[in-house]
Structure 1
């Protein structure tokens, strides 16, 4: 098995670049935030162990052993068949002893769907801030609410450092089924393959396509049938339901009503969303309640932000994949060409393939 790339604590935390950046940034709040990012990443790096060592340890449970073996099969498939990076990422394991690796905090104005963005030296500008401790995320969210913002906190099982470090299989990833674990590996490795600063929709749609196409090939290689079409349909219907609400809210917020009238109409839109969801769930999904927790929790603008980012350009990438007759190497070359275009030209090129 071939390994490439960094080693020993990823070349001493990439020469402590993130920590240096933190000290160069002005403002105590900003420095404090970067300090927790640096500490969290450092702890994660120190927690890693080679999967081979974990498997060889007699104290490793049979359940963990089985999950890691499955993950390593998916990891090998990712490089050999999907032509994703062949490095040490996801050939290491880290027990976080918590349900999520980070908690992301999303925020918008009360009467707007425009996200509060945050810019980082490596990842560019994104519509959230990540925290390694749930308490810190909740504290940041509380401060934003005091400013009158709509806020949503979401736990994340995995993330990519875009090849800067050897990303491990995380204990937070193992709560999913075997197939979902494989798709997470495909998705996160895709971010290492191609990433464009300041274009979340492009990055996530690309990784989602690689995840979906990779999963089809993964299932075929294992002699399994296609993924359950009912579950895929439910996900698409749920996403369309939320996106339709977001479009109506966008029209509402750009209209001429008073702020008080917009607040009242905003509340009505979220109640309408819940009502339509319940009708869909009970009439077409036979009472499947997998989305109940999300729907019946507090709803606000910020909670709608992630929708569409992961799916917007997936059909365009699927069309591009067909153009190269399913050749992964050529596909990535074409995607890299798109990535080098200015933002408007890139969007236009994707739009033509929808």
Structure 2
């Protein structure tokens, strides 16, 4: 008897046909190889997925994986029921990729700038990084950008979003996270399916980060926290580390936009980054030797490292203030974010600046 192809695979292969046709149009373009690896990588990922319930019921599935998948299933339901995030097939299938990350991102900036070089693609517009399914390909691209004089940062990413075009699966790369961080990751990725602005990575990532923070807070309130003190300590460390990096970002921005010569800017950049390392060592002592952020300094950070963090976090206080002004009601918050998303970039940034300023003077607005 002929095996029937699952409907989900039929839909994805139909999409693949469209993308391959598009690649034919791009055959004279250097982007062709990049699009091809993206399509191939995603199809390989999809070929390994199984329904979460099937994996949970499989006697061969390790108990630790069963527990995490059961938890992720509950979080997925909570996301739609309590947070108003999309109710679709995303995160209802599971794949073990046999590697620690789903993709590797490359951020590159000019030597004397914190502005990431944008990569522009069909469907998603321009983003502040370039992702690869192969770590080797990511490092080859980073090496080429470095040879051209850029600061570069390559980092592994446990998840990525297709923005609702396809059903994103749960991955083995999620399962090493703490329970709270697993919730944050799922809520963050689903938020990208709710509101997304082409060409504005800082807006998109800060919005999704604000949703993950609020969503995790609400998850803990409903389900309790097996280790509330540990979570509080983790959040405090995260905030202190982000503050440390933000301070260095501010220093470097002043250096790069100042009137000094490029040679002097290079010297002052080096000193600022050395001070960052020194301040981090002092912070670790306050933490009793906690080393959870050591990977940020191997290799030593540069513009691209700092730019990647800024993309995710610099606008979070503005979104937190917006949520506060909507009486912490998520439907109103999402509607207000959609209105911001419709604005021209300059006006949208001005509104976010104003929100951020109000938040700085409003103790009730917390992150």
Separation of aligned partners in 2, 1:115 and 1:324? 32
* 1:212 CA displacement: 0.7
Offset of residue 93 of structure 1 = 0.4
Aligned equivalent of 2:138:
137
Give me the whole-angstrom Cα distance separating, in 2, the residues matched to 1:313 and 1:93. 32
Give the structure 1 partner of residue 310 of structure 2. 308
1:63-99 CA distance string (max 9 Å, x none)? 1111111110100100111111111100000111111
**Unaligned segments of structure 1, at least 5 residues:** 1-5
User: Quick one: structure 1 residues 26 and 265, their matched pair in 2 at CA, closer, same or farther if it must change by over 3 Å?
Assistant: farther
Note if contact 1:100-1:156 (Cα within 8 Å) is conserved in structure 2: yes
Three-state SS of the structure 1 residue aligned to 2:310 is coil
The aligned counterpart of 1:3 is none
Mapping of residues 298-337 of structure 1, within 5 Å: 298-337=300-339
User: 2: CA distance between counterparts of 1:214 and 1:256?
Assistant: 44
2:308 aligns to what SS in structure 1? coil
1:111 aligned residue: 112
The question of whether the paired residues in 2 share the 8 Å contact of 1:219 and 1:226 is answered with: no
Counterparts of residues 55-66 of structure 1 (less than 5 Å): 55-66=56-67
The alignment partner of 2:101 has SS state of coil
Instruction: After TM superposition, give the deviation of residue 165 of structure 1 in Å.
Output: 0.5
- 11-20 or 94-103: which moved more? 11-20
Which residue is equivalent to 2:238? 235
- 1:21-68 Cα offsets, whole Å, 9 max, x none, are 333225453111111111111111211111111122222121111111
Q: Deviations over 1:255-278 (max 9, x none)?
A: 343333332222211111111111
TM-score, normalized by length of structure 1?
A: 0.92
Which range is displaced more, 231-240 or 266-275?
231-240
Distance change (3 Å), C-alpha of 1:217 and 1:233: same
Q: TM-score, normalised by structure 2?
A: 0.89
Using the TM superposition, give the Cα deviation of residue 107 of structure 1 relative to its aligned residue in structure 2, in angstroms.
0.8
Q: 2:99 and 2:310 mapped to 1: Cα distance?
A: 28
Q: How many correspondences in the alignment?
A: 348
Aligned to 1:273: 276
1:245 match: 248
Q: How big is the shift at 1:117?
A: 1.1
- Superposed CA deviations along residues 229-249 of structure 1, whole A, max 9, x for unmatched, are 332222122112112212222
CA pair 245-52 structure 1, distance change in 2 beyond 3 A: same
Which residue, 259, 263, 269 being the options, matches 1:260?
A: 263
- Listed as ranges, the matches of 1:8-157 within 5 Å are 8-14=9-15, 16-25=17-26, 27-157=28-158
* RMSD of aligned alpha carbons: 1.9
Kindly indicate whether the alpha-carbon contact (under 8 Å) linking 1:101 and 1:158 is maintained by their aligned counterparts in 2. yes
C-alpha distance 222-14 of structure 1, shift in aligned 2 (>3 A): same
Deviates more, 1:55-64 or 1:6-15: 6-15
Residue 163 of structure 1 is matched in structure 2 by 164
Indicate the residue corresponding to 2:199 in structure 1. 198
Q: Is the 8 A contact 2:104 2:135 kept in 1?
A: yes
User: Residues 60 and 229 (structure 1 numbering): CA distance in 2 closer, same or farther, change over 3 Å?
Assistant: closer
Q: CA deviation at 1:15?
A: 5.4
Q: 1:223 to 1:149 in 2, by over 3 A?
A: closer
Shift of the 296–144 alpha-carbon distance from structure 1 to 2, 3 Å rule, reads closer
Query: Contact 2:16–2:39 (CA<8 Å) still a contact in 1?
Result: no
The change in CA–CA distance for 1:112 and 1:305 in structure 2 (over 3 A counts) is same
SS of equivalent residue, structure 2 residue 313: coil
Distance 1:253 1:75 in 2: 44
State which drifts further: 6-15 or 52-61.
6-15
